Amino acid sequence: MSIFGSANTSFGPSTNYSAMKDIEVQSPPDDSVSCLKFSPGTNMPSTFLIAGSWDNNVRCWEVQQSGQTVPKAQQTHTGPVLDVDWSDDGTKVFTASCDKTAKVWDLNSNQAIQIAQHDAPVKTIHWIKAPNYSCVMTGSWDKTLKFWDTRTPNPIATIQLPERCYCADVKYPMAVVGTAGRELIVYQLENQPQEFSKIESPLKFQHRCVSIFMDKKSNAPTGFAIGSIEGRVAIHYVNPTNPKDNFTFKCHRSNGTTNGMQDIYAVNGISFHPVHGTLATVGSDCRFSFWDKDARTKLKTSEQFDQPLTACDFNAQGNAFAYATSYDWSKGHEGFDPNKKPHIFLRSCFDELKPSMKKT
């Protein structure tokens, strides 16, 4: 691949394993996978997958049509990597780390340069491409949202958050940030990032992941899905035509052993299908599920894996679903078994995510 100056092939082979018969990504990270991101669809001859890990590394694979993966390169932070994002042209990757910095990784030159600095670990990173500006947005546990032009050491803007940033998503011109203490803030990004509204969280417990969805007709961002530790996801339209459009649903729960009580697991990740507008959730219950938010039905639930699912993403065409099985610290250090290795799987998913026929 020409766009990668130095293809790193030092990863060793590993055995394929999946409860769902999906294809395993070669040479997965050594520690839990915190985030997965496919390359954008624009002008890219092939598809790439990036994974950030608690082993401080960011890895890049080329994903072939067959679903086979070829390890390409990796970069290292001095702390666990919590989030990654792609530039819109697919030439750069942005990485956010517990080492309180964010970096830009130029895949052509395989150089990584620090572009951001926070006072606490950086939890989220997103590339913003607006007609009149472009920048990187970082959200941190230091209770700030910062915007960086990637060339200067100081942020071009800083927005105070009410609490530590726990999750964020950007689909221009909308950004949404979920924080500790159930704060939920929507920003509009036109001209300049600007708070649009604060939302009373429809969830009762700790925010964990958020994903913006598009209006099917206009293809503009119109709302978001936010997941919490309470096995629940809220579908929230920023300006619902009908208040009833907003709802929450239970997920990632299982019937426990004690008197029929449900065990409740965290929702670790949400991703929307780029073509169908349906969504996938992954959870601490070691399963993924596919949902149709418009028909308000579940499309599929996976088998149970041997470890929690920590991250997921769809590729730009919507025919591949990547998910990672690795420990998510949901049971603290006692639940950590270093003998269980992280895995990343690719699933052919286009048909499974077709919207439900029975519309309401």
Partner 1 sequence: MVICKFFMQGNCRYGNSCKFEHPSADNTGYAYSAQRQLFGNSGNRYKWSSNDYQKQQGPKQGQGQVSSADVVNVIINEMTEWEKNKMWPFSCMAFEKEAPCIPDFVDTSPEELRLAAYEALKDNNIQPYIQQVQSLSEEYSKKRQMIRQANLTLRQKLIALIDEYRLKKSRSSQPSGLFSAGSSTNNPFGNQLSFMSSTFGNAPTQPSQGLFGKDNPSTASAFPSGSSGFGTSAFGATPSVGIGSSPAPGAYPSSNSSSQGIFGGNQAAGSFGAQAQPFGSSPTPSAFGATSSAFGATPSQGLFSAGASQSPFGSGASASPSPFGSGANSTSSVGFSKPNTSGTGAFRQSNASGASGQPSESDVTSTVYTPIDKLTPKELAEFKAPHFTLGNLPTKPPPKELCF
The residues in 67-126 that bind partner 1, with binding defined as CB under 8 A, are 79-80, 82, 98, 121, 123
- Cα–Cα distance, 103 to 94 (Å, whole number): 6
CB 300, min distance to partner 1, A: 13
CB 305, min distance to partner 1, A: 17
Order of strands across the sheet with 247-250? 207-214, 221-228, 232-237, 247-250
How many chain residues touch partner 1 (CB under 8 A)? 84
Segment 248 to 277, residues that bind partner 1, using CB under 8 A = 248-250, 256, 258, 260-266
- Cα–Cα distance, 20 to 231 (Å, whole number): 22
C-alpha count within 13 angstroms, C-beta hemisphere, residue 266: 19
CB 67, min distance to partner 1, A: 30
Which residue lies nearer to partner 1 by CB, 94 or 265? Answer: 265
The single residue among 6, 13, 21, 333 that binds partner 1, judged by CB under 8 A, is 333
Structure token digits, residue 43: 């002008």
Structure token digits, residue 10: 């030092």
Q: What count of other Cβ atoms lies within 10 Å of the Cβ of residue 298?
A: 14
Segment 147 to 186, residues that bind partner 1, using CB under 8 A = 157-160, 162-164, 166, 173-174, 180-183, 185
CB 87, min distance to partner 1, A: 21
CB 232, min distance to partner 1, A: 8
CB 329, min distance to partner 1, A: 4
Residue entry with tokens 């970096």? 103
Q: What count of other Cβ atoms lies within 10 Å of the Cβ of residue 340?
A: 13
Single out the segment in contact with partner 1 by CB under 8 A; choices: 43-51, 272-280, 331-339, 340-348: 331-339
Which residue lies nearer to partner 1 by CB, 37 or 207? Answer: 207
Structure token digits, residue 347: 């699933």
The single residue among 205, 294, 341, 355 that binds partner 1, judged by CB under 8 A, is 205
Closest CA to 138 of 163, 102, 174, 187: 102
CB 272, min distance to partner 1, A: 17
Structure token digits, residue 240: 């619902």
State yes or no: residue 355 binds partner 1 (CB under 8 A): no
The single residue among 22, 85, 169, 230 that binds partner 1, judged by CB under 8 A, is 230
CB 237 within 8 A of CB 219: no
- Cα–Cα distance, 292 to 273 (Å, whole number): 10
- Cα–Cα distance, 342 to 53 (Å, whole number): 10
Single out the segment in contact with partner 1 by CB under 8 A; choices: 15-23, 63-71, 104-112, 214-222: 214-222
The single residue among 2, 218, 339, 357 that binds partner 1, judged by CB under 8 A, is 218
The single residue among 26, 192, 274, 354 that binds partner 1, judged by CB under 8 A, is 192
CB 220, min distance to partner 1, A: 6
Q: Reduce the secondary structure of 120-184 to three states and give it as a string.
A: CCEEEEEEEECCCCEEEEEEECCCEEEEECCCCCCCCEEEECCCCEEEEEEECCEEEEEEHHHCE
